[in-house]
């Protein structure tokens, strides 16, 4: 999917849409996409005003740049004034920003793929419920699209499947940020080795790429899908470059 595929539609953001980490590897792509959906209300935040301004200049419909360290409680509290939605692109393992959003009734989206970060936000569930505010998690590729595709596929079956197998093929040539690269390296270190339950590689057919050997990888989508679908789920990873996958 590209930004060109985002259909124009009217969305009421209920205030401005603050993108934390808006100058990061993911944030600088996300902010212009949000500008297409909710024009004129996107605010790009970075600890560096110049980096925020450079991204804000690429946002269709106009955007504001703010200098903000999300871990500074006074600055964050000030920045949340008049904000309807926060999109957090900064790793926040304590769920600090989520907690402030729940208190203030600000809608919260966390793009993290990190299970620890997602768990910290989930731990604030009662706070979000108390303030009647929504938090949306697992919004990327895996977790994210994989959760939706697997749920959709299972919903089309007449009977519950014995298990769900997901294959993810990532591009090695893409520009990943430090957080994204760290998450991949940590996942590779933690991935189950050898054969056994969930540990088997699997030959998986990917459209346009053909059959690739994919290896179990601790994507967090598996945890949530096991709970929501009630069947064993394994997500495997390979790269577009077979030599990198083998390594
Ligand atoms: N679901 C998926 O499929 C998927 C895929 C890829 C990545 N992700 C997630 O996307 C998020 C962003 O990844 P990324 O690769 O874009 O990250 P990144 O470029 O390394 O960092 C994003 C921003 O975080 C801010 N930051 C870093 N360290 C900080 C600190 N100590 N205090 C305050 N701010 C700090 C920086 O903002 P400034 O320096 O500009 O202030 C940086 O621009 C991660 O949570 C990652 O897990 C999800």
- What's the CATH number where 81 sits? 3.40.50.720
Task: Indicate whether 112 and 69 sit together in one domain.
Answer: yes
How confident is residue 40, by pLDDT bands cut at 50, 70 and 90? very high
Residues 171, 178: Cα–Cα separation, whole Å: 16
Task: Indicate whether 123 and 191 sit together in one domain.
Answer: no
Report which listed range, 5-14, 186-195, 232-241, is most confident: 232-241
How confident is residue 13, by pLDDT bands cut at 50, 70 and 90? low
Ligand 1 atom closest to 117 (CA): 45
> Residue 233: pLDDT above 50?
yes
With tokens 């290896």, the residue in question is 215
Judged by average pLDDT, the poorest of 18-22, 156-160, 183-187 is: 183-187
The size of the chain, in residues, is: 247
Structure confidence at residue 147 (pLDDT): 97
Summarize the confidence of residues 76-100 as an average pLDDT: 95
Structure confidence at residue 146 (pLDDT): 97
Task: Indicate whether 131 and 168 sit together in one domain.
Answer: no
Domain count, the chain: 2
> Half-sphere exposure of residue 14, counting CA atoms within 13 Å on the CB side?
10
Q: Is 85 helix (H, G, I), strand (E, B) or coil?
A: strand
Q: Which domain holds residue 15?
A: 3-136
Task: Indicate whether 155 and 132 sit together in one domain.
Answer: no
Task: Indicate whether 231 and 153 sit together in one domain.
Answer: yes
Structure confidence at residue 1 (pLDDT): 43
Residues 103, 93: Cα–Cα separation, whole Å: 18
> Residue 4: pLDDT above 60?
no
Structure confidence at residue 6 (pLDDT): 54
Structure confidence at residue 2 (pLDDT): 45
Looking at 84, 114, 136, which one is the last position of a domain?
A: 136
> How much of the chain exceeds pLDDT 90, in percent?
74
Structure confidence at residue 177 (pLDDT): 81
Task: Indicate whether 68 and 185 sit together in one domain.
Answer: no
Summarize the confidence of residues 195-216 as an average pLDDT: 85
How confident is residue 214, by pLDDT bands cut at 50, 70 and 90? very high
Task: Indicate whether 69 and 120 sit together in one domain.
Answer: yes
Burial pattern 80-99, b for ≥16 Cβ within 10 A else e, equals beebbbbbbbbbbeebbbbb
Summarize the confidence of residues 207-224 as an average pLDDT: 93
Residue of 177, 184, 237 to test ligand 1 pocket, by largest number of atoms within 8 Å of CB: 177
pLDDT, one tens digit per residue, over 43-75 is 999 999 999 999 999 998 899 999 999 999 999
Residue 176 Cα to ligand 1 middle (Å)? 10
Task: Indicate whether 82 and 193 sit together in one domain.
Answer: no
Residue 178 Cα to ligand 1 middle (Å)? 7
Residue 25 Cα to ligand 1 middle (Å)? 7
Task: Indicate whether 179 and 77 sit together in one domain.
Answer: no
48 lines ligand 1 (CB under 6 A): yes
Judged by average pLDDT, the poorest of 58-62, 165-169, 170-174, 207-211 is: 170-174
Residue 24 Cα to ligand 1 middle (Å)? 6
Residue 134 Cα to ligand 1 middle (Å)? 22
> Residue 8: pLDDT above 70?
no
Task: Indicate whether 9 and 126 sit together in one domain.
Answer: yes
Looking at 81, 110, 136, which one is the last position of a domain?
A: 136
DSSP characters for 188-240? HHHSPPSSSTTT--EEEEETTTEEEEEEE---THHHHHHHHH-S-EEEEEEES
Looking at 102, 136, 170, which one is the last position of a domain?
A: 136
């Amino acid at each position: 999917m590209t930004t060109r595929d985002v259909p124009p539609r009217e969305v009421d953001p209920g205030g401005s849409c603050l993108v934390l980490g808006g100058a990061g590897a993911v944030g600088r792509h996300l902010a212009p996409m949000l500008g297409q959906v909710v024009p004129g209300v996107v605010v790009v935040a970075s600890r560096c005003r110049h980096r925020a301004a450079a991204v804000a200049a690429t946002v269709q419909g106009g955007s504001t740049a703010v200098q903000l360290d999300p871990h500074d409680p006074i600055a964050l509290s000030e920045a949340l004034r008049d904000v309807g939605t926060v999109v957090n692109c900064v790793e926040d393992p304590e769920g600090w920003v989520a907690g402030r959003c729940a208190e203030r009734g600000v809608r919260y989206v966390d793009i993290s793929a990190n299970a620890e970060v997602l768990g910290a936000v989930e731990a604030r569930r009662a706070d979000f419920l108390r303030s009647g505010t929504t938090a949306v998690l697992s919004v990327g590729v895996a977790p994210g699209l994989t959760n939706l595709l697997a749920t959709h596929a299972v919903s089309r079956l007449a009977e519950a499947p014995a298990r769900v197998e997901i294959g993810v093929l990532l591009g090695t040539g893409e520009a990943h940020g430090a957080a994204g690269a760290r998450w991949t390296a940590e996942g590779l270190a933690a991935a189950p080795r050898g054969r056994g339950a969930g540990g088997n590689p699997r030959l998986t057919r990917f459209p346009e790429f053909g059959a690739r050997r994919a290896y179990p990888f601790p994507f967090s989508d598996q945890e949530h899908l096991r709970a929501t679908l009630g069947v064993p789920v394994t997500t495997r990873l390979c790269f577009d470059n077979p030599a990198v996958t083998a390594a």
